[in-house]
Amino acid sequence: MIVKLLLLPFTREPFQQKDLLLEKAVAYQKLLISDNLSMEENLAAWERVRKRLIASIEDEIKPDKLSEMSELLEMFYPERTLAQIAVQTEARNRRGGLESYYFDVILRLAVEFVALRDGRVSLKLWEDNLKRSSNFFPQSSGLYKVELWSEIARTVTPDLFIAGYFVRTGIRDPGQLKNLPDHVFLSDSLMARINAQGIAETHLHFSAGMSYLSVWEAVTDPAALRITSARSLFQQHQKEELREHRCLILAGWLRLMMAKYLQITHQAQLQREKCADMPEFFFFDLRKEQDYLEHSILRYVLGNREEAGNMQELLTILERKNERCLSILYSDYQVSHAHKALDVLMRGLYASYAYLGTSPELLLLFFALHHIQPSSQKQLKNRWDSMLFGE
């Protein structure tokens, strides 16, 4: 329950329209500034939102005690702090949101659990008295941190925290991310001596198992997926599989669009040029076929996804224009048949990073975290940034 509550914003449905934590924070802020006339009304509104939030969490977590769940939620996401952030973002003429706080949770967890030990990405077992106040689990022993990390790594993929560790510690050069794994090691000296005698590490390693990263890279390749008409004569299980493909191909295109946007904006920043946000970047020229495809994807993601017309328009493009979409993949996203890498990013936009031996997904997360947390301030730049991690 502890880990699920801590990672609550990252386990919700991707691109969810409503953020109940935000609604509760806004209701709480209104309650704080209430006068005698509005106190009762605002208190009732806050109580309604609180009950909706608790009910949504309770269905998933099924806690033994609701009071304990409420206390943990307040510890990880303090209501007063969230209310202040929501007011500040709205005052800056942005959509009031808590994304800056959410991603700061990831970065704080990264430096609390991840470290370099003899140059190897390892679990941070030792205590850090200097930064104890910023830790989520300041009193945890080394063995308890192993248990916590094991649960965290099964809730959110470890590569996000590995990328977050390098961002939080001030690394900006991707050349420093050489031969990084997609998981964290124990780096235990006793285990190393035992392994040297012939015992397989996978029998003991606390994160041993399938590579979720490799699976994700494989199933989000637009060149490997096809959208087939729902009117086809496939059997029922085949149609269900095709419905899953629709979500995966959307994720694949979004992933490519993010990589392209981050790459171009990084180059613009180096030249001190003004950077548009992502919707403006892709809506700039709708005359091009690739812009039409990207516009349709963004219209679905940023718009009302409950409207059947938006989804149907997107599926029609992906279904009827497979070959044309693939030509965009090769022309606009620099994908080359000459490269044999599994990940479509390594065959295209990230081909120049092949020498690093690090997964393109980890590089994408590294660039994205740098984009949403500039060195001068820990605030998101625009609404689109809240979607960079909606996998």
Question: Stretch 94-104: mean pLDDT, rounded?
Answer: 76
d(CA 233, CA 45): 51
User: Does residue 380 have a pLDDT over 50?
Assistant: no
Integer angstrom CA distances of residue 343 from 221, 223, 382? 7, 10, 28
DSSP 8-state assignment for residue 185:
B
Question: In this predicted structure, what is the pLDDT of residue 186?
Answer: 77
Residue 62 tokens read as: 């099924």
Question: In this predicted structure, what is the pLDDT of residue 389?
Answer: 47
Residue (of 291, 378, 381) closest to 106 by Cα position: 378
Question: Stretch 100-104: mean pLDDT, rounded?
Answer: 88
User: Does residue 247 have a pLDDT over 80?
Assistant: no
Residue (of 247, 183, 219) closest to 390 by Cα position: 247
User: Does residue 327 have a pLDDT over 70?
Assistant: yes
pLDDT digits (tens, 9 = 90+) for 194-226: 556 655 545 455 555 556 777 788 778 877 765
pLDDT digits (tens, 9 = 90+) for 58-69: 877 777 777 888
Question: Stretch 338-356: mean pLDDT, rounded?
Answer: 88
The structure's pTM equals 0.81
User: Does residue 71 have a pLDDT over 70?
Assistant: yes
pLDDT level of residue 378 (50, 70, 90 thresholds): very low
d(CA 228, CA 318): 9
User: Does residue 364 have a pLDDT over 90?
Assistant: yes
User: Does residue 166 have a pLDDT over 90?
Assistant: yes
Question: In this predicted structure, what is the pLDDT of residue 355?
Answer: 92
d(CA 298, CA 245): 18
